[in-house]
Amino acid sequence: MRPKWLTVSVWIILLGLLLLAAREGVAQDSGLLSPAASQKDASDVVSVRTAWSVDRARPGDRLAFAVVLDIAAGYHINADSGQIKPLVDFKPYPTRVTITAVSEGLTIDPPLYPPAHPVTVEFTSDPLMAFDGRTIVYVPMTLEKEDLSQKVQVNVTISYQACDNQVCLFPRQVATAAALPVDFSGEAPQAANQDLFVGYRLVAATGAGNSVGFSLFGWNFAINTATGLGFLLLLFTAALGGMLLNLTPCVLPLIPIKIISLSNAVQNQARCLALGVAMFSGVLFFWLILGAAIALVSGFTATNQLFQYPLFTIAVGFIIAVMAIGMCGLFSIRLPSFVYLLNPKQETLGGSFGLGILTAVLSTPCTAPFMGAAAAWAATRHPFTTLTVFAAIGIGMALPYLLLSAFPEQVCKMPRTGPASVLVKQVMGLFMLAAAAYFIGTGVSALLMTPPFPPGKGYWWAVMGFIALGGLWLAYRTIRIASKLLQRLLFVSLGVIIVASSLYGGMRLTDRGPIDWIYYTPQRFQQAIDQRKIVVMVFSAEWCLNCKALEQSVLTSAPVVEQFSREDVEPIKVDITGNNPQGKAKLQEIGHLTIPLLVVYSPAGKEVFRSDFYTVDQILAAINEARAEGGV
């Protein structure tokens, strides 16, 4: 008999090997821009310069870069997006400092904005959060210890809109660059521009820049993590996002498997609870490992980054296939012993722990509401903060399984023995084979793709073939084993619906679709801006099921397709399925870590709208806003 600790150890080692294998908006109402305001340029009232905190840097040093905005008396600029409060009659253009390029070996932290304060203006009834006078935005950064050149350089773009108490000037973007020499002698650098960095530690300590914004289908809110209560609220929101991961298409196929295993242990409540605790531990363990990797491993920044490595995706598909074959009862012949370690019985503690790890792994391609923003913010914080937030996500995701095992009455109706139980396992096993085909197919497609062009989609027929086979088997076996007419009618009809849906899904998912996408390169994006077009940029990947869901439900709707087909709109898709360094660099430049993501740019190249969970109305409104802002 195989010891329980051996199975658990195998899952931990396997997870370690897999991890090692991978290495806002422009919306200014035109009525606010008076003729006098339009004649005055924002550069007349705001001067922008940059400064370093030291005269030179050493490998491994921690330093800061300051963006200094001197604002003329009587004027202010809007606060950053984290501190702006939603207004009914006015949508402010936020101040934004964006790092567009950095030298190799330089790691950049998110900008730290100073605390904003309310300003009373005539064009809106509520106070406006703003900066005035001398405003300094700090950008902390770290030099790597190796592979550094003689100097490091930072390219930065500053976006802002200057207003007085009556009108606002046109928004402005300033692009600049600054270089700093690197000293390899080991001599300590001298402090520089000390008058500009007096408030640096204060801004960092008070949590300025620690506001985390959340958006869900038009519902926007922000949490200030500078206070203890704010941080607790963030952890609760992260846990809620983790819980919602269970409802994504990445995780749903595994939920019936866990219910089946709990139903087999329901007569022994202590044993049932132990299985739930084991699965809870497996889910939490993976999220802690993932948080540690993001906090400590250079270059690892996103929860879905593992699936950008095709071999990892193929390995996950192989594990799912082994477990699916075991569920279908096809292990009647003797296979290599390692196969049985990957497919332990779900009624064992090791098996539940392994299923917890697999469930968490499968959740990472999908991003649930709230979870993506919390994880992206945590990825830039102190390692302890990163681990705490990722632990909250893991606890939220694992909590339903723990509650289900603690109150197993909800699974008592699941058939535990007999032909019906065998049929459920076989159908679920076929559906898991479909999931395995999906991950293996996306991995192989990623290996064969040539960026910027997307990977092939032929593997979807293998996915839908297994789903159709599950529906056919459900219908056939129901006819053979069901004794009641109503049961036969219900489950045979369900099987037919599954078959028909899989055929329809295969055609939809392999079809080119109604949108003539341009696949991203920096040159194509710049060409669209030079031609004064509105750019709708969609980030996607074959392994991102949330991306597929949004594309099929939102982006293929008739109003969106009609807008995308107009001459002044350029739909650009950034596919990061495999090795697409330009696409990944663009995602990082925007300041986002996860997908799905949709960004709308005005003809002037200014970001008008950004969201990871968007609606048809939001896209249409953003395009119209960009069209008005660009004078198209």
pLDDT at 135: 92
Minimal CA–CA distance to 456: which of 555, 319, 597, 310? 310
pLDDT cut 90: percent of the chain above it? 10
Helices (H), 364-458: 371-378, 383-406, 418-448
**Region 166-177 average pLDDT:** 86
Distance CA 97, CA 158 (A): 5
Q: What share of the chain is helix, strand, coil (3-state, %, to 5)?
A: 50, 20, 35
Percentage of the chain modeled with pLDDT above 70: 74
Please, which pLDDT band fits residue 48 given cuts at 50, 70 and 90?
Answer: very high
Q: How far is CA 74 from the centre of its chain?
A: 41
| pLDDT over 70 (residue 309) | yes
pLDDT of residue 500: 92
Tell me what the mean pLDDT of segment 177-206 comes to.
76
Residue 325 clears pLDDT 90, i.e. is over it: no
d(CA 308, CA 313): 8
Q: Is 172 helix (H, G, I), strand (E, B) or coil?
A: strand
The torsion angles phi and psi of 81, rounded to 5 degrees, stand at -60, -25
Reported confidence tier of residue 35, pLDDT bands at 50, 70, 90: very low
Reported confidence tier of residue 205, pLDDT bands at 50, 70, 90: very low
Instruction: Specify the pLDDT at position 40.
Output: 57
Task: Give the residue with greater pLDDT, 312 vs 255.
Answer: 312
Mean predicted confidence (pLDDT) in 55-59: 85
pLDDT band for 339, please (50, 70, 90 cuts): very low
Give me the pLDDT at residue 297, please. 62
Torsions phi, psi for 103 (to 5 deg): -70, 160
Residues 622, 609 contacting (CB under 8 angstroms): yes
For the chain, helix (H) and strand (E) counts, in that order, are 19, 18
pTM score of the predicted model? 0.56
pLDDT of residue 67: 93
Largest Cα–Cα separation, the chain? 86
The pLDDT value recorded for residue 259 is 65
Provide the residue ranges of all domains of the chain, joining segments of one domain with +.
1-23+225-414, 40-211, 518-629
333 torsion bin: left (phi>0), alpha (psi -120 to 50), beta (else): beta
Least confident of 80-84, 157-161, 289-293, 481-485: 80-84
- Indicate the CATH number of 518-629 among 1.20.200.10, 3.40.30.10, 3.30.1490.20, 3.30.413.10: 3.40.30.10
Token representation of residue 197: 């960095």
- 111-115, 408-412, 481-485: least confident range: 408-412
Q: What is the mean pLDDT of residues 585-597?
A: 75
Q: Determine phi and psi for 369, rounding to 5 degrees.
A: -55, 140
Q: Please report the pLDDT score of residue 30 as a whole number.
A: 34
Fold of 40-211: Immunoglobulin-like (2.60.40)
